[in-house]
Each structure stands twice: as C-alpha cells, then as structure tokens.
Amino acid sequence: MSEQDGHDVEPLRGREGRGDDGAEGRRGMSGRNPAGRRQLPNRRDVIALGVGAFLVSTLPLARRRHRLVRRSVPVMGTIAEFAVVHRDPRYAHAAIDAALAELERIERTMTRFRPTSDVGRANLGAAAAAVPVSRETALVLEEAVRWAEASDGAFDPCLERAVVMWDVTHRHEPPPGDRVRRLAGRRLYRALEIDTWRGAPVVRFRNKDAGIDLGGIAKGYGVDRATHALRDWGIRHALVNVGGDLYALGSSEDGDPWQIGIRSPVDPRRLAGSVEISDRAVATSGDYQQFFEYRGRRYHHILDPATGEPRRSEERSVTVMADTCMAADAAATAVFGMAQSEMGRLLRLRAPDAQVVRAG
C-alpha cells in the first residue's frame, strides 16, 4: 500500500522491540548544526524514531518521568514505529501488539498487491460484476471519492492502471506517451460505483480502465485504527508512525506535546522545521522518496490524474496536520503541487480542521 506514499526507511536503533534506552538510541542526531540549518531544540535529544519525513524528539533518559517503550515492525510496505509512554513495558508491548494487528488487518484488506484483498478482488473482477467488500473498505472508498470530488480530480483513488504503468521504483524512463495520454484526464473515480447487495457493500467499475489504489489514504486510516487500538488498551500517550503517516496521542513522556521534526526534502539528514502536536496527525507528500530521473526531469510517485504522469510542482514536499491521519494522508497527497489558494479551498471543503504546516 506504499506505492503512492512511499518513504525511505530508517528503523529504530538499539534492541528492536524492547524499549531500549541506551546511548545508541540517544545519538540520533549530533548537537552540531551544519550550514546553520534548523534542528530540534537542544533541550531534548532525538531518539531514532524516524521514517520518511519525520523525526521525533524526546528527553534524555535521566530526565524522563515515565518509561518510553519503542518498537519498529515492517508492515504496509514500510516500517511502522511505535513509541508508548507507560510504566509497565510488558503492558505497553501487549498494546503495541494490538495496534500492529490492526495495521496488518487493514493491509490484508486494502492492499492492491494481494489478489485476495478487497481491493485486489475488485481490480480483478469489478469491471464485469459487483464485487463484495468489507464495510471498512467501502468507508475508505467513499471518503476517497469525496476527496476526489472536492479536489476536482486532483486526488483519484482509481489510478491503479497508471500507478502500475509508471512503477517509478523499477522504471528508468517514462512509459510511451500514447499509453500515458490514454489514462490522462479520465476522472476514473467517477467510474467507481459503491452500492449494497443483500445488505453488504459491493463495488463495480463502469470503465475497464478504472482500478483501485488506496495508497494515498488507507495507510492513514490504518494509523487511525492502530491509535484506536492503543486507546482501547488504556494507552493515553503514544506515537504511531507508519512510513511518515503519524499520529501523536496525548503527550510525550515529559508531559509536553510531542515535538515532530520535518526532514528537509533537499537533505534528509537535516530538518526543515518542527511542529508540536498532541492528539493530532501529520503527513507529508513529496517528490524525493520514490523517483527516477530522465533527461533532466525527476519522475516521482505522486501522479497527476489530469496528465497521467508525475505531478509537476515547484515545491519538493508538503506537510499537512489534521485531526485524523486519514485526512492528513489524503490531504497531503491531494494538495501536493497545488497553488496556495487551491490548497485552502480544498481543506475548507474536506478538512476544516487541517492546515498546511510546511510546503517547500
């Protein structure tokens, strides 16, 4: 499910899955500031909780009020990272198990890479007949279509054929122009029918070129479900970060809001800025994670439905904060490359609580 939202992976350091608080984990970033670039505040050290666009700062061990239990696990084509504030590491790990189970369930249900998933079955058969899907898949599809309509097609969950054609992680030059033009400007989300049959959701395609790819929204939904699982276990303070889609639950181990550093799209070793958040989500889209270059142009993984090719943008990345990770995920995908006025219009329509915290 990472094809539209892929991120470089930097897994946790130290002993994986054991809440290690050793020196290696605290050396995530040196105190020096090369070239005068902004780094996280000196009053905190950076733990190695950082996949894709974000780094998270935390207090040194000696100043922590509570135990921070960490784990990193491969899922959804990337690395999921958990940081749970709790006095009992065993209980924290049990809660993380429940959250991870939710991520794995959403992946099994909504990935396009498995022919047995809801999305895989729909892509194989929905052009010929109605295909049953789960209520959750129908819910995410309906939300994706709402983003597509509000963005005038800038976000399109039915671009699976174009995503497969471009496959920027393996391709070294653009596909033939006639193939690209065939899928450009089609508004294929309009070909998706979401209905019920015998009380259960079904989907059908009215156009054989339509195919579902939820890479721009389902990972965010998965983060929301994982966070919900932590809440069910009574966890009040935690982070869930899945390849750069992040939810900050409650506060950090020192009682302050979580401080999230946003990586520079030009140099991922440096920070472009930081935000403090509590009980909110943040997600970033950019052209610097999955791409190839051909004849002086960068071809990245965020496709423009209007042209059928990677979206042209003067900005390298955009970061969006919202109340849910599904909204932040969809918004970051949709507004990448948009003019500021269009960004504002779309967010007012679909996520009035959301805001663009960085574009650059």
pLDDT, one tens digit per residue, over 158-195 is 999 999 999 888 888 999 999 999 999 999 999 999 99
- Rounded-to-10 torsion of CA 153, 158, 160, 166: -10
What percentage of the chain exceeds 70 in pLDDT?
A: 79
Q: What is the per-residue pLDDT for 194?
A: 98
pLDDT digits (tens, 9 = 90+) for 126-149: 999 999 999 999 999 999 999 999
CB under 8 A, 24+ apart: contacts of 192-199: 192/141, 192/145, 192/157, 192/158, 194/138, 194/141, 194/142, 194/145, 195/130, 197/130, 197/132
- Locate the domains of the chain by residue range: 23-103+223-286, 118-218+300-359
pLDDT, mean over the chain: 83
- Which of 280, 289, 286 lies closest to 78, judged by CA? 289
- Average the pLDDT over each of 92-101, 107-116, 197-206, 257-266 and give the range with the smallest value: 257-266
Q: Is residue 1 pLDDT above 90, yes or no?
A: no
CA atoms of 23 and 8, how far apart (whole Å): 24
Q: Give the pLDDT confidence score for residue 272 in this predicted structure.
A: 78
Identify the CA nearest to 348 among candidates 151, 63, 203.
151
Q: Does residue 308 surpass a pLDDT of 60?
A: yes
Query: Would you say the CATH fold of 118-218+300-359 matches that of 23-103+223-286?
Result: yes
CATH class, domain 118-218+300-359, is: alpha beta
- What confidence tier does 360 reach under pLDDT thresholds 50, 70, 90? low
pLDDT band at 277 (very low <50, low <70, confident <90, very high): very high
Q: Determine if residue 76 is left, alpha or beta; phi over 0 gives left, psi from -120 to 50 gives alpha, anything else beta.
A: left
- CATH architecture assigned to 23-103+223-286: Roll (3.10)
What sign does the CA torsion over 32, 248, 47, 268 have? negative
